[in-house]
Structure 1
Amino acid sequence: MEARQKQLYELWLSQRPEGGGAPARSAFDPVDAPKAMSTLIFAEVEPDDYFFRVVGTDMVEAWGRDYTGERLSDIMTGDYHAFIRSLFDQCVRTQACVFSHSRFQWDRGRTLDTRRLMLPFARDEDPGVVGFVLVSQVFDYSQSGPVQPIIAEVGEAVRTEIAREVLGAG
């Protein structure tokens, strides 16, 4: 996990309710993680899709277009859409962070290494319902990621052990 993602993860952990679950949307202010802002995608959960409210400049550069104001289903199709959708769905369903490391390929015909950290946030008016997913996606233009994606869910029962493994926390 990249340093900016680690900072976001630790911020998310500090904002979580005492009993677990996702922190409220109002708990997060991107100003608290200024170095990560360019890596962010802020998506609102809709009944059958995800609406991209904010897309950071690193994402615009890598994707070749600003997808702010569009839905996930408008942006991608096929197997890649199914893969990304499954990550979003897992994050929402479990109210847990999801980290993935994979090979990213886009229209330009190149592949590169990418790491995604997905952080769930609850609706302020309904704290038991995840209404937003904050994604930090970073790219390493010097290498290609693994052929088979590596996905780690930071679940309640094993949160500490996985976090230590993924983040190198002590």
Structure 2
Amino acid sequence: MFAQMQYRSYSIAGMDIAGDNMQEDFDSLKSDMTKGLMAHWHQIKGHKPMASRLDFNPAEVEPQILPHIILFDVFYEPLDFRYRVVGTKVVRYSSRDYTGENLSDIEHQREGSHLWKMLKQTVLEQKPMVACSPYAGPQKDFMASEDVLMPLTDEQGKVRYILAAVDFLSR
């Protein structure tokens, strides 16, 4: 899923695959799962710049999207991210269940990795990020994962969580 990447952009079946190149063009989303969670995030944020964690209620998300969700905690000083919730499809198609683990403790996801850069950019820019990353998990039928990352704030408006949807694109 979120393996260490070589940082270059290339194309698979006409789709740009991001190395360091994260897309903000949501029209490029191929997956109903990523589109659906992105639409939900926009709905719950309303006219605010970002949705808050209190706005997000998993019971209001379409049931077929829930297995594709990851919720990350954001820590500052030093910056780090923890897998708070990992959906069942993400666990199934990853090399293991990362629930409860900090990225700084996972060798291929530490600072400098593609995933770390995407999460950090989401925090710094305080807006959703979209990426399509080469798939690096146990399933041979997948070529890439389509990822959307959306900031969620605490009561003071600081990004404390990142809500993500991951869908796996077949060869």
TM-score norm. by structure 2 comes to 0.73
Task: Pick the aligned partner of 2:67 from 27, 30, 38.
Answer: 38
Identity percentage over the alignment? 25
Residue 65 of structure 1 aligns to a residue in which SS?
Answer: coil
Does the Cα contact within 8 Å between 2:135 and 2:144 map onto a contact in 1?
yes
Match of 1:89 in 2: 120
For residues 109 and 34 of structure 2, what CA distance do their matches in structure 1 show?
Answer: 28
Output the amino acid matched with 2:81.
Y
| Distance change (3 Å), C-alpha of 1:31 and 1:78 | closer
Aligned partner of 1:26 among 34, 50, 54: 54
Aligned mates of 2:98, 2:88 — CA distance in 1: 11
Gaps of at least 5 residues in structure 2 are 1-28
Of residues 8-17 and 39-48 in structure 1, the stretch that sits farther from structure 2 once superposed is 8-17
**Is the 1:23–1:121 Cα contact (8 Å) retained in structure 2?**
yes
More helix as a share of residues: 1
- Mapped partners of 1:78, 1:134: distance in 2: 17
Q: What TM-score comes out, normalization by structure 1 length? A: 0.73
2:153 to 105, 118, 122: 122
- Larger relative CO (CA 8 A, sep 6+): 1 or 2? 2
In 1, Cα distance between the equivalents of 2:45 and 2:50?
6
Residues 10-89 of structure 1: pairs in structure 2 closer than 5 A: 10-18=39-47, 20-33=48-61, 34-47=63-76, 48-77=79-108, 82-89=113-120
1:12-34 deviation line (CA, Å, top 9, x unaligned):
1122252x421111100112112
CA distance in structure 2 between the aligned counterparts of 1:40 and 1:109, rounded to whole angstroms: 19
Matching residue's letter, 1:21: P
Would you say how many aligned residue pairs link Structure 1 and Structure 2? 138
Distance 1:39 1:70, change over 3 A: same
Contact 2:109 2:115 (8 Å CA) reproduced? no
- What CA RMSD, in Å, does the superposition of the two structures yield over aligned residues? 2.1
Match of 2:37 in 1: 8
Aligned to 2:49, the other structure's residue is in SS state coil
Indicate if the aligned counterparts of 1:101 and 1:113 stay in contact, CA closer than 8 A.
yes
In 2: Cα distance, 1:118 partner to 1:137 partner: 9
Give the drift of 1:79: 8.6
Relative to 1, partners in 2 of residues 1:93 and 1:72: Cα closer, same or farther, differing over 3 Å? same
